[in-house]
Amino acid sequence: MLQVEKAIKELEMEGRKAAAVFVTSPTYHGICSNLSEISKLCHSCNIPLIVDEAHGAHLGFHPSMPCSALQQGADLAVQSTHKVLCSLTQSSMLHMSGNRVDRERICKCLQTIQSTSPSYLLLASLDAARAQLSENPETIFNKVMELAVEMRTLINKIPGIAVLDFPSFSSFPAFDPLRITIGVWQLGLSGYEADHILIKDYGVVSELIGSGSITFAINLGTCREHVLRLVSGFKHLSGTFSLNQGMSQRLDDIECSPFDDINMILSPRDAFFASKRKVSVRESLGEICGELITPFPPGIPVLIPGEVITQRALNYLLQLRSRGAVITGVADPLLSSIVVCNT
């Protein structure tokens, strides 16, 4: 909330006023912002609050879950209904509350971007998800919440495995109990290496992979057999790989902020239309990047077209690639070469 308050005051000092406040909550890892306080602050200044609640369509449907964005006073909330609820992939909902935002204007904006040939399969799946919730909204998540507690309890007992839990983020008001992030760095493994073993040997598919951790999403389709299979996988990792600090040292070597020395020579548009050539990754140093280079996760571009390629960015990308990260947006996902602009 302090960041929002600071941003609003900085604009006021410049003689301007924020048109809206946009907040992402919860994060991919399930960490929630104090939307109730943020909404009070925004509304005291007559500023609408818009929340990207993509990973929180299920919030508010169980007493042990954080409240939803609308329950905390948000004016607009966008939810990816398919992420935890049971609609089909790509289906989502836009929710509105109150009259601070002009509904007619929202409808006109939607008309400019919506297709005249919508997918009725996706729309039907959204309605099915709504109907499923409406049948027993007070109890539908009881079983899955029990499974989440059991999963945390069992995994916490495994040597060399760390579970991200709410006390680690005491400065935040809430944490989504259906997101479980598990650290494996004490075993000398990266999250990518551990994920590969879990998929190959146990058929366990994660939601998000990090350098030293893996995040899992529990949903209405999760059953106890899934939980036990996951626990077995981590027991296997714990018994197979020795406890050591090697991985934590390796992770410390990764440059975590390759974005603070950006030097744009061309606009992304000019770089897109510029003639290009492919060079080895080492020869690319100092050249103008001609492609969007994005490690996933976290899905944030490290280099964009028109940007000068720096040693820091190359080191970061090569280190992540060596640990198993997927590099998207590039002609050569192995990063043996990079497309650069001719100057």
Domain end position, chosen among 252, 287, 304 = 252
| pLDDT given for residue 255 in this prediction | 55
The overall average pLDDT reported for the chain is 90
Residue 259 lies in a domain: no
Count CB atoms within 10 A of the CB of residue 152: 15
Q: Does residue 293 have a pLDDT over 80?
A: yes
Mean pLDDT for 310-332 is 89
Same domain, 248 and 330: no
Same domain, 247 and 294: no
Same domain, 58 and 170: no
Same domain, 118 and 238: no
Domain end position, chosen among 101, 119, 135 = 135
Residue 34 lies in a domain: yes
| pLDDT given for residue 72 in this prediction | 97
Residue 64 lies in a domain: yes
Residue 258 lies in a domain: no
List the CATH number of the domain containing 36.
3.40.640.10
Same domain, 117 and 156: no
Same domain, 56 and 73: yes
Range of the domain at 61: 2-135
Mean pLDDT check: name the lowest of 82-86, 127-131, 205-209, 257-261.
257-261
- Round to whole Å and give the CA distance between 152 and 161: 11
Residue 180 lies in a domain: yes
Residue 63 lies in a domain: yes
Mean pLDDT for 193-204 is 94
Residue 118 lies in a domain: yes
Q: Does residue 254 have a pLDDT over 60?
A: no
pLDDT, tens only, 151-164: 999 999 999 999 98
Residue 260 lies in a domain: no
Same domain, 293 and 326: yes
- Round to whole Å and give the CA distance between 225 and 215: 18
Same domain, 121 and 30: yes
Both tokens assigned to 65: 């879950």
Interacting residues of 261 by C-beta distance below 8 A, sequence separation 6+: 310, 312
Mean pLDDT for 118-134 is 95
Same domain, 131 and 60: yes
List the CATH number of the domain containing 320.
3.90.105.10
CA angle 120, 123, 125 (to 5 degrees): 110
Same domain, 13 and 115: yes
Q: Is the dihedral of CA 284, 285, 290, 291 positive or negative?
A: positive
Same domain, 16 and 58: yes
Q: With pLDDT > 90 as the criterion, what percentage of the chain qualifies?
A: 77
Same domain, 127 and 164: no
| pLDDT given for residue 167 in this prediction | 65
List the CATH number of the domain containing 169.
3.90.1150.10
273-290 burial, b if ≥16 CB within 10 A, otherwise e? ebebeebebeebeebbbb
Give pTM, 2 decimals: 0.84
Domain end position, chosen among 109, 135, 161 = 135
The domain tally of the chain equals 3
Both tokens assigned to 172: 């935040």
Q: Does residue 243 have a pLDDT over 80?
A: no
